C-alpha cells in the first residue's frame, strides 16, 4: 500500500507519496504567503494551508493508482494558534511559531506564575513562540475574538480536522503549547485555568502513530480516494523529522537545518532540563525527547542570499569559501529573536568583526558558521546535563550544502550522518501513516526498515580545534549585546 506524508511548513507544504517499503514515488511542493503586519509579528491564513494541501494531493496522485493509498499523516510547524468558533470557522489569522508579539505574556507566565510552577505542570517554561502566551495575548488584545473561541488547534491539526472532521492533536505537537502535561501525556487542567480556557476547547490527544479518523466522504470523492483512508494524528515537524531520519531510541540525535534549526535528542525516559533552556517534549515514537530550537537557521542563509546579496546561486557563493576556521567575522543569527538557549524575543541579527578587507565570502561564511555556533549552544546544554552525543543525523534544506555539513561536523565535533532521503517531516509523516495502518508495528520498526545512511561527515581534529577557539569568542557576543537589543526594540 501507499502512504501520503504532509509537511505543513512555514512557507510551503510538501507532500510525499511513499510505498510501504519506503520507496518515495513522488514529491510535490506548494507555496503560500506569510504576512508580517507589524515588526516581529508573523501570521498565515489557515485556508491557504488547506487549499494548497488539497491541490497538492491532487497533483501528487496524478497518474497513480489511488486505490493503493491507505493512509495520510502529517508533520507540521509547531506552536501556531488556530482558533475556531462554534461553527468551526477560523476566527482570525493563525499566529505562528516565529511570532514575537507575546513577550509580555511570556514574561507574565515565567515571572508571575513562575518558571518552576510551569515546569511542574508542563516540564517547560514559557517562550514567546509557544501557544499559551498567544492565547493570553488574544484574551488581552482581542477580547471579542477570544469570546468566540470554541476550539484551539495547532496548524497541522487544522488540516487533519478538514480532512477527517475530527478535532485531534498528537502528544509531540501538544507538548509545545505549554498547556500539556508532558510527563503524563495529557492536558494540564492547571494551565487551562491559568490561561482562562476550557479543556473542552482543546482537541483530543493521540499518539503520533495512532489513527484519529478517516477521510471524510465528500473529500474522498473529490480526491478519488477511499472513505476508509486513515488519517493518522501525525507529529510536530521536529518529531516527524526525527522519525523520518530514524532518530528513535535512547540518545539518538538529529539536527534540522530548516527555516528554524533544532538539536533533537531522543530519550526512552522522561527528563527535563533543569536550566530550562531546552524543551522537554513527548516524542512521536511513544517516548520523549529534549530539543533546543533556534528561530532562524537556513532562513538566515536564504535572507542573506536572496535579500542582501540578491542571488539564488547558493552553491556558487559557497564555492568561494576555502579558509574554514580562520574567519574573523561573526554573525548572530537572531533575525526573529531567539528561543534556545536565550529565550529573548528582542535579540537581533548582528555582524561583528568587519574590517576594510572583509570580503563578500567572509560574510557568507559567517552566516553559515553563526547558525552552527548557535546550534552548539543547545548541544552544550545537553552535554552539561550528562547527555553524551557523538553523532547526529541531519535534515532540512540546509543539509543539502556539503560545506555547511562540514562546518557543523567541526563546530559541534560530531559525526554527521547523511541520509539517502533527506525529506524529514514529510517522510516521517508517511511513516507514521504506515504505522497507523499496521504496515509496521512501531515507529522504530518503520525507521529500521526505511531509513538508510549514505555517508558520514567526520570532524577533522585541526579544524575542530580552530572552531573551538572561535566558538568561545562567539559565546561572548550575545551577552555583550543583550542590553543594546533591549534598547533597540
CB-hemisphere CA count at 13 Å for 408?
Answer: 35
The answer to whether 348 and 478 are in contact (CB under 8 A) is no
The answer to whether 74 and 38 are in contact (CB under 8 A) is no
Dmax (CA) for the chain in angstroms is 66
Task: State the sign of the Cα–Cα–Cα–Cα dihedral 408, 411, 412, 415.
Answer: positive
What 3-state DSSP class applies to 431? helix
Distance (Å, rounded) from C-alpha 4 to C-alpha 437?
12
Q: Which residues pair with 261 in a beta bridge?
A: 257, 294
Q: Which residues pair with 65 in a beta bridge?
A: none
Q: Which residues pair with 94 in a beta bridge?
A: 44
The answer to whether 74 and 239 are in contact (CB under 8 A) is no
Distance (Å, rounded) from C-alpha 478 to C-alpha 485?
9
Q: Kindly name the residue from 157, 181, 237, 362 that is annotated as catalytic.
A: 237
Distance (Å, rounded) from C-alpha 308 to C-alpha 160?
38
Distance (Å, rounded) from C-alpha 479 to C-alpha 431?
42
- Cα 402 to Cα 314, 321, 486, distances in angstroms: 12, 12, 36
346 is catalytic: no
Task: Give Cβ neighbours of residue 394 (< 8 Å, ≥ 6 apart).
Answer: 245, 254, 255, 256, 257, 405, 408, 416, 417, 418, 419, 422
DSSP designation for 87 = T
DSSP strands (E only) in 171-302 = 180-181, 186-187, 204-206, 211-214, 230-232, 235-236, 253-257, 261-267, 279-282, 288-294
What cell numbers appear for 409 in the block? 561536523
Residue burial 172-190, b: 16+ Cβ < 10 Å; e: rest: bbbbbbbbbbbbebebbeb
Residues tagged active-site: 237
Amino acid at each position: 500500500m501507499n502512504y501520503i506524508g504532509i509537511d505543513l511548513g512555514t512557507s510551503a507544504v510538501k507532500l510525499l507519496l511513499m510505498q510501504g517499503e519506503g520507496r518515495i514515488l513522488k514529491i510535490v511542493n506548494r507555496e503560500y504567503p506569510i504576512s508580517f503586519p507589524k515588526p516581529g509579528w508573523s501570521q498565515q491564513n489557515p485556508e491557504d494551508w488547506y487549499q494548497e494541501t488539497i491541490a497538492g494531493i491532487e497533483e501528487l496522485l496524478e497518474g497513480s493508482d489511488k486505490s493503493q493509498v491507505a493512509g495520510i499523516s502529517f508533520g507540521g510547524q509547531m506552536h501556531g494558534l488556530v482558533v475556531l468558533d462554534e461553527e468551526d470557522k477560523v476566527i482570525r489569522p493563525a499566529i505562528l511559531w516565529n511570532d514575537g508579539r507575546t513577550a509580555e505574556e511570556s514574561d507574565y507566565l515565567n515571572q508571575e506564575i513562575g518558571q518552576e510552577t510551569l515546569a511542574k505542570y508542563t516540564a517547560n517554561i514559557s517562550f514567546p513562540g509557544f501557544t499559551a502566551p498567544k492565547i493570553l495575548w488574544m484574551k488581552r488584545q482581542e477580547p471579542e475574538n477570544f469570546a468566540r473561541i470554541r476550539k484551539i488547534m495547532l496548524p497541522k491539526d487544522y488540516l487533519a480536522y478538514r480532512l477527517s472532521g475530527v478535532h485531534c492533536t498528537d502528544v509531540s505537537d501538544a507538548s509545545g503549547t505549554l498547556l500539556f502535561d508532558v510527563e503524563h501525556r495529557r492536558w494540564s487542567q492547571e494551565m487551562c485555568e491559568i490561561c482562562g480556557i476550557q479543556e473542552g476547547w482543546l482537541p483530543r490527544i493521540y499518539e503520533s502513530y495512532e489513527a484519529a479518523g478517516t477521510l471524510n466522504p465528500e473529500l474522498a470523492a473529490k480526491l478519488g480516494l477511499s472513505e476508509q483512508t486513515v488519517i493518522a494524528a501525525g507529529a510536530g515537524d521536529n518529531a516527524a523529522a526525527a522519525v523520518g531520519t530514524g532518530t528513535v531510541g535512547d540518545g539518538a540525535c538529529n539536527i534540522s537545518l530548516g527555516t528554524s534549526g533544532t538539536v533533537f535528542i531522543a530519550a526512552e525516559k522522561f527528563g527535563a532540563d533543569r536550566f530550562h533552556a531546552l524543551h522537554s517534549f513527548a516524542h512521536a515514537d511513544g517516548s520523549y525527547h529534549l530539543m533546543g530550537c533556534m528561530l532562524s537557521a537556513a532562513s538566515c542563509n536564504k535572507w542573506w542570499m536572496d535579500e542582501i546579496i540578491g542571488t539564488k546561486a547558493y552553491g556558487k557563493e559557497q564555492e568561494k569559501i576555502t579558509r574554514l576556521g580562520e574567519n574573523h567575522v561573526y554573525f548572530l543569527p537572531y533575525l526573529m529573536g531567539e528561543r534556545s538557549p536565550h529565550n529573548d524575543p528582542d535579540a537581533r541579527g548582528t555582524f561583528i568583526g568587519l574590517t576594510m578587507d572583509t570580503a563578500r565570502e567572509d560574510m557568507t561564511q559567517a552566516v553559515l558558521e553563526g547558525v552552527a555556533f548557535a546550534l552548539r549552544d543547545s548541544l552544550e546544554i545537553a552535554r552539561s546535563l550528562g547527555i553524551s552525543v557523538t553523532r547526529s543525523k541531519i535534515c532540512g534544506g540546509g543539509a543539502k550544502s556539503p560545506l555547511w555539513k562540514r562546518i557543523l561536523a567541526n563546530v559541534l565535533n560530531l559525526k554527521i550522518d547523511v541520509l539517502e532521503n533527506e525529506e524529514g517531516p514529510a517522510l516521517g509523516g508517511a511513516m507514521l501513516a504506515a504505522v497507523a495502518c499496521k504496515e509496521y508495528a512501531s515507529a522504530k520498526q518503520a525507521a529500521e526498515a526505511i531509513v538508510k545512511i549514505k555517508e558520514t561527515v567526520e570532524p577533522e581534529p585541526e579544524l575542530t580545534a580552530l572552531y573551538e577557539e572561535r566558538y568561545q569568542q562567539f559565546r561572548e557576543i550575545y551577552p555583550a549585546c543583550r542590553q543594546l537589543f533591549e534598547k533597540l526594540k
